A and B are shown apart, each in its own frame.
Chain A
Amino acid sequence: GQQLNQSPQSMFIQEGEDVSMNCTSSSIFNTWLWYKQDPGEGPVLLIALYKAGELTSNGRLTAQFGITRKDSFLNISASIPSDVGIYFCAGRKGGATNKLIFGTGTLLAVQP
């Protein structure tokens, strides 16, 4: 099935550093979501974006819905060890199904 392209694939950073990751698509989406998955667990919703250009924050996390509607960005400021995990973007094109298409994931490792 279709997947969204996420970059970088993985990041290894020091505690306290800021992190940026993005998600791109060749087609337009009406909704962008960002999830975090810990090993052996299900994804947890971090941020939801519903309008092109929208910028939304959740604590140290900030995400933006790209104005072309084909991309989204997630920033994490002042990273801490518990930020470790895999971050997935997900897009929804709309319609009646509410189906999501997931990105390839970004693995984040934080060195204390």
Chain B
Amino acid sequence: GAVVSQHPSRVICKSGTSVKIECRSLDFQATTMFWYRQFPKKSLMLMATSNEGSKATYEQGVEKDKFLINHASLTLSTLTVTSAHPEDSSFYICSAYYNEQFFGPGTRLTVL
């Protein structure tokens, strides 16, 4: 139980393009999902809290116009990195809350 998937697992894109990452809770409904970013050999840094049916809450220093979050259903949240640049390259991980936070497998984004 408490399985979370992410798609795609890896994506390579050109600078200036937008990339959408999906996070799905497969066997439970999640009113709250979270998006994290992780740099190599570093810990997870919370980017934003995604609440179904309402606007996401962004952490200080995270550009909400650059990292668009949509939580349109109880099983799906999406993160869109708009006008991606090489410095946006990172490992993006989502989690879904079901008594505790359960994490997806992550998405490796490389911006050329």
A residues with CB within 8 A of B: 1, 3, 33, 35, 40-45, 48, 88, 90, 97-105
Q: Which of B86-112 contact A (CB under 8 A)?
A: 91, 93, 95, 97, 100-106, 108
User: Chain B at the A interface: mostly helix, strand, loop or mixed?
Assistant: strand
The residue on B at minimum CB distance from A41 is: B105
- Which residue of A42, A43, A98 has the most chain B CB atoms within 10 A of its CB atom? A42
| Cβ contacts under 8 Å, A45 to chain B | 100-103
- The interface size of chain B toward A, counting residues with CB under 8 Å, comes to 26
Task: Find out whether the CB atom of B59 lies under 8 angstroms from the CB atom of A1.
Answer: yes
Contact with A along B22-48 (1 / 0, CB 8 A): 000000000010100000001111100
| Cβ contacts under 8 Å, B97 to chain A | 98
Chain B proximity of A33: nearest CB distance (Å) = 7
Chain A proximity of B40: nearest CB distance (Å) = 10
Task: Find out whether the CB atom of B43 lies under 8 angstroms from the CB atom of A104.
Answer: yes
B residues with CB within 8 A of A: 4, 6, 32, 34, 42-46, 49, 57, 59-61, 91, 93, 95, 97, 100-106, 108
Task: Find out whether the CB atom of A105 lies under 8 angstroms from the CB atom of B43.
Answer: yes
CA distance A101 to B44 in the complex (A): 9
Q: List 7 A-B contacts (CB under 8 A).
A: A42-B4, A42-B105, A42-B106, A48-B100, A97-B49, A98-B101, A99-B46
Task: Find out whether the CB atom of A41 lies under 8 angstroms from the CB atom of B106.
Answer: yes
Task: Find out whether the CB atom of A33 lies under 8 angstroms from the CB atom of B43.
Answer: no
| Cβ contacts under 8 Å, A1 to chain B | 45-46, 59-61
CA distance A31 to B64 in the complex (A): 29
| Cβ contacts under 8 Å, A103 to chain B | 43
Chain A proximity of B80: nearest CB distance (Å) = 20
The residue on A at minimum CB distance from B36 is: A102
The 3 A-B residue pairs with the shortest CB-CB distance in the complex, in nearest-first order: A42-B103, A102-B43, A102-B44
| Cβ contacts under 8 Å, A41 to chain B | 105-106
| Cβ contacts under 8 Å, A104 to chain B | 43
| Cβ contacts under 8 Å, B103 to chain A | 35, 42-45
